[in-house]
Amino acid sequence: MSSAPQGLHDGKSAQHPRFHRQKQVLIGSILIAGLCSIIYELLISTTASYFLGDSVRQFSITIGVYMAAMGLGSWLSRWVNGNLLMAFIAVELVLGLIGGLCVPFMYLAYAYTDLVQPVMLLLILTVGTLTGLEVPLLTRLLEHQDILARNLSNVLSLDYLGALLATLAFPFLVLPWMGVFQSSLVFGLLNIGLGLLNLWYFAPQLDLSRKRLLGWSGAMVTSFLVVLLVFSQGLLSHWTNSLYSDRVVHREQTPYQTIVLTQYKDDIRLFLNGNLQFSSVDEYRYHEALVHIPLSQHEAPRRVLLLGAGDGMAARELLKYPEVQSITMVDLDPAVVRLARTDHRLAELNQGSLDDPRVTTVAQDAMVFLKESDKKFDIILADLPDPNNVSLARLYSREFYRLVDMHLAPGGSFTTQATSPYFATKAFWSVHASLAAAGFERVVPYHVQVPSFGEWGFVYASHSQRPLKPEEPSVQTRFLDNTTFAEALTFPRDLKPTSPVEVSSLDDPTIHDYYMDGWTYWH
């Protein structure tokens, strides 16, 4: 026969000082529990974004499933009877275990299976359901301390406060200091510690046999997570290496992305969030096409703006021109620029370009920089990541290109990398359409073959009336000449869209859909 639900009274007066302390412990517990739960969800969605791309979709799925799972947990709480303290402590221990292992589970799923999305959904559902149990249990535990309305306001307000603290701490403290892998283990331990603290504090009110069971369970789970935390760097290196075909020589988590550098013999490769940025074997093809084609069309390019290009390769090519007096490079993540300066492999590849006195680096979002700056440039080059999420898609929008146009000096031009016209045909031609819609009078697409990327595209835009004419670069190049320049301007039939493409805008980022449709098909 089950006993009646147990609160904090145990036959004593709810006004006793000890019961006020017990209330404070439980109220403080919900603050920490709320913080941990939100951190788990942020970790899951961030890790899914790294592995699957499309961060807006991953965070939207997380929020929706999490809220629904919390509702499920609240509904299930009606069948929790008996010792509510024991139930609450058990929930915290299980939540700490699942939350602590959420990122390791996702790493395992990505490295060894094709089940990242199902694992993600299962983790969100589990964490959300357990979180949904917390508030009803605490409210019932406190029912003899105060009236229901006050209990609910206390519990919910601190739960929401914990969520606020989590969302503020995650991008500014948690991710930069620990990364996603260690963060999940640390907050799992915090959650389990919360359960063990309640187990110790309320020990006199708990059944001895169940208390021992929870105590031993908490100790075992804590030991397991501590061992994982101690060996986390080795495990992370092993799993990271399993994600890349070549040896990982540098891995770094920043507030913006995961930076990975790999090496196989003389092939150095840079990955941002798992997406290849360049291979040292053939990067010169890409950067020569990006830089020398637009510069060959300008009589005296003195001031150049680079958007992205934090690896220093584009700056290396620009510095070949003695007439270039200043290069302003705007890259969101200062860690990429720092790595390009300090890593001997990258510094050798970019020939120390970022330490040249003509180069000024700015750690800022490209769109924000254009909104705040009043400078004009003869040449603007965009070497930005592909539009694989909505945030990046805005950097390929009509409105962004209008901002670019406002910063061009008379006779100036703009050139952007525009993903692959073969793998993501509509995305490429959407860049072309969006530049035309932004008001540029001359918009010229071109493409080159980069073996590590495949067929890759660029779009040149200016207000000049003169056609884009193939010319021999005035500086030394390894790939680009009159012949390859002329070939770059010619598009075979299979690189052209078979149906009209739409302009991408801030309100309707169609390029993101085009990009995801194209690359998802090939992947």
Which CATH number is 421's domain given? Answer: 3.40.50.150
Q: List binding-site positions for S-methyl-5'-thioadenosine.
A: 257, 331, 365-366
pLDDT in tens, 199-249: 888 888 777 788 888 899 999 999 999 999 998 888 877 777 777 778 889
Amino acid symbol at 88: F
Look at residue 4 and tell me if it is in a domain.
no
Q: Looking at the predicted structure, is the pLDDT value of residue 4 above 50?
A: no
Give yes or no: residues 301 and 225 share one domain.
no
Q: Looking at the predicted structure, is the pLDDT value of residue 49 above 70?
A: yes
* Number of domains the chain contains: 3
Give yes or no: residues 225 and 263 share one domain.
no
Query: What is the layout of strands, in order, in the sheet containing 247-253?
Result: 247-253, 258-264, 267-272, 275-279
Look at residue 72 and tell me if it is in a domain.
yes
For residue 261, give its domain range. Answer: 242-275
Look at residue 390 and tell me if it is in a domain.
yes
Look at residue 144 and tell me if it is in a domain.
yes
Q: What's the pLDDT at 373? A: 94
Give yes or no: residues 174 and 270 share one domain.
no
Give yes or no: residues 299 and 351 share one domain.
yes
Q: What's the pLDDT at 501? A: 95
d(CA 360, CA 369): 13
Give yes or no: residues 255 and 146 share one domain.
no
Give yes or no: residues 288 and 228 share one domain.
no
Q: What's the pLDDT at 52? A: 79
Q: What's the pLDDT at 459? A: 98
Q: Kindly report the backbone phi and psi dihedral angles of residue 476, in degrees, each rounded to the nearest multiple of 5, phi listed first.
A: -70, 135
513 is catalytic: no
**Given 159, 333, 383, 513, the catalytic residue:** 383
Q: List binding-site positions.
A: 257, 287, 311, 331, 365-366
pLDDT-derived band at 121 (thresholds 50, 70, 90) equals very high
The whole-chain average pLDDT of the chain stands at 88
Q: What's the pLDDT at 1? A: 39
pLDDT-derived band at 154 (thresholds 50, 70, 90) equals low
Q: What's the pLDDT at 183? A: 92
Q: What's the pLDDT at 145? A: 53
Which of 210, 238, 266 lies at the terminal end of a domain, its last residue?
A: 238
Look at residue 250 and tell me if it is in a domain.
yes
pLDDT-derived band at 97 (thresholds 50, 70, 90) equals very high
Which CATH number is 58's domain given? Answer: 1.20.1250.20
Give yes or no: residues 218 and 359 share one domain.
no
Which of 275, 299, 326 lies at the terminal end of a domain, its last residue?
A: 275
Q: Looking at the predicted structure, is the pLDDT value of residue 181 above 70?
A: yes
Give yes or no: residues 204 and 151 share one domain.
yes
Q: Looking at the predicted structure, is the pLDDT value of residue 442 above 90?
A: yes
pLDDT-derived band at 11 (thresholds 50, 70, 90) equals very low
pLDDT in tens, 300-348: 899 999 999 999 999 999 999 999 999 999 999 999 999 999 999 999 9
Look at residue 3 and tell me if it is in a domain.
no
Percentage of the residues of the chain whose pLDDT score is greater than 90: 61
Q: What's the pLDDT at 17? A: 55
Q: What's the pLDDT at 521? A: 65
Q: List binding-site positions for spermidine.
A: 287, 311
Give yes or no: residues 460 and 313 share one domain.
yes
- Residue 394 C-alpha from the chain's centroid: 16
Give yes or no: residues 463 and 319 share one domain.
yes
Look at residue 6 and tell me if it is in a domain.
no
Which of 254, 275, 296 lies at the terminal end of a domain, its last residue?
A: 275
Which run of H or of E encompasses 461?
A: strand 454-462
pLDDT-derived band at 2 (thresholds 50, 70, 90) equals very low
Q: What's the pLDDT at 144? A: 56
pLDDT in tens, 356-387: 999 999 999 999 999 999 999 999 999 999 99
3-state secondary structure 479-516: CCCHHHHHHHCCCCHHHCCCCCCCCCCCCCCHHHHHHH
Q: Looking at the predicted structure, is the pLDDT value of residue 5 above 50?
A: no
Tokens 């499920």 correspond to: 72
d(CA 389, CA 409): 31
Give yes or no: residues 334 and 475 share one domain.
yes
Strand ranges inside 286-325, DSSP E: 303-308
Look at residue 8 and tell me if it is in a domain.
no
Give yes or no: residues 261 and 318 share one domain.
no
